[in-house]
């Protein structure tokens, strides 16, 4: 870290302004002590704009109406680490308890509601293709607040070292090894990519018309919101969940205290009434 970077500390006033900004734009409450996260995510934007401190950057995103700096800041502050077959217990129950009950004459639809760079959505796609084959039509919809990360998800290209959790047989069937300029990368199979779409959506705002789903994954997202925003998001999402549909949340999350028409059927697994 350079001396210049060390001098760019996130002042109390700058942190409060950035905290208010991301809460208003994305509903995310950073809490009292995430200055280091803000520094690590946004410091390069100060260098880009040649700004001496975070207070001036906070003023920039507050006043920005012509460039896309506000969206860049949202992308950087909300993008979270993910990987293939994360929290695989949910995927196991999807295959063993949910898929066998699905009527074969109806398209099976899954929403990965905080899909980040697409690893969750494509993990589910591999399971659906393996289980249903040509017997049942299926499709996956992924969404995220970050336009930059959605673009990456649509591409379906990942660094080879990020795919360790993919089962070996799935790796052979659904991943194509890159060559030339794509050496060290893998491309998700075209058949899976054609059935998986991604779209930029802010879950704290009214949802667009995206249809109804049999399963919604909303994992490791609620931890970033206050209780009121959590319930608002859950109510909004389950309006898109079919009766009897399944909602999966993260293992560190809970819907405790929410008056919503969901029944807990397994740890962090809820069914629409």
User: Would you state the torsion angle of the CA atoms of residues 64, 69, 31, 150, taken in this order, to the nearest 10 degrees?
Assistant: 140
Q: Is 19 assigned a catalytic role?
A: no
Under a CB-based contact definition with an 8 Å cutoff, are residues 273 and 261 in contact? yes
| Residue whose C-alpha is closest to residue 201's, from 237, 241, 163 | 237
| Residue whose C-alpha is closest to residue 177's, from 159, 193, 154, 196 | 159
How far apart CA 106 and CA 138 sit, in angstroms, is 9
Q: Is 106 assigned a catalytic role?
A: no
86 three-class SS: coil
How far apart CA 273 and CA 266 sit, in angstroms, is 15
Phi/psi of residue 110, each to 5°?
-125, 140
Among residues 144, 189, 193, 219, the one annotated as catalytic is 144
Among residues 41, 162, 176, 199, the one annotated as catalytic is 41
| Residue whose C-alpha is closest to residue 272's, from 223, 263, 96, 178 | 263
Cα radius of gyration rounded to whole Å, the chain? 20
Under a CB-based contact definition with an 8 Å cutoff, are residues 188 and 216 in contact? no
The two three-digit tokens of residue 163, written as one number = 């795919």
How far apart CA 183 and CA 218 sit, in angstroms, is 33
| Positions marked active-site | 41, 144
């Amino acid at each position: 870290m350079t001396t210049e970077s060390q001098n760019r500390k996130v002042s109390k006033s700058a942190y409060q302004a950035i905290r208010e900004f991301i809460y208003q734009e994305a509903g995310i409450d950073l809490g009292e002590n995430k200055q280091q996260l803000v520094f690590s995510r946004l410091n390069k934007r100060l260098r880009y704009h040649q700004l001496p401190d975070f207070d001036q950057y906070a003023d920039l995103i507050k006043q920005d109406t012509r460039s896309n700096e506000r969206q860049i800041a949202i992308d950087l502050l909300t993008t979270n680490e993910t990987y293939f077959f994360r929290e695989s217990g949910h995927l196991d129950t999807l295959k063993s308890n949910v898929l066998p009950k699905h009527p074969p004459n109806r398209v099976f639809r899954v929403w990965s509601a905080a899909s980040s760079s697409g690893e969750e959505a494509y993990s589910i796609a591999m399971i659906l293709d393996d289980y249903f084959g040509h017997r049942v039509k299926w499709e996956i919809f992924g969404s995220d607040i970050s336009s930059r990360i959605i673009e990456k998800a649509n591409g379906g290209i990942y660094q080879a070292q990020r795919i360790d959790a993919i089962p070996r047989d799935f790796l052979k069937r659904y991943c194509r090894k890159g060559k030339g300029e794509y050496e060290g990368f893998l491309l998700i199979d075209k058949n899976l990519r054609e059935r998986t779409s991604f779209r930029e959506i802010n879950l704290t705002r009214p949802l667009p018309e995206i249809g109804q789903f049999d399963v919604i994954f909303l994992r490791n997202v609620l931890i970033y919101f206050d209780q009121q925003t959590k319930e608002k998001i859950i109510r909004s999402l389950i309006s898109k969940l079919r009766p009897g549909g399944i909602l999966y949340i993260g293992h560190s999350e809970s819907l405790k205290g929410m008056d919503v028409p969901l029944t807990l059927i397994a740890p962090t697994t809820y069914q629409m009434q």
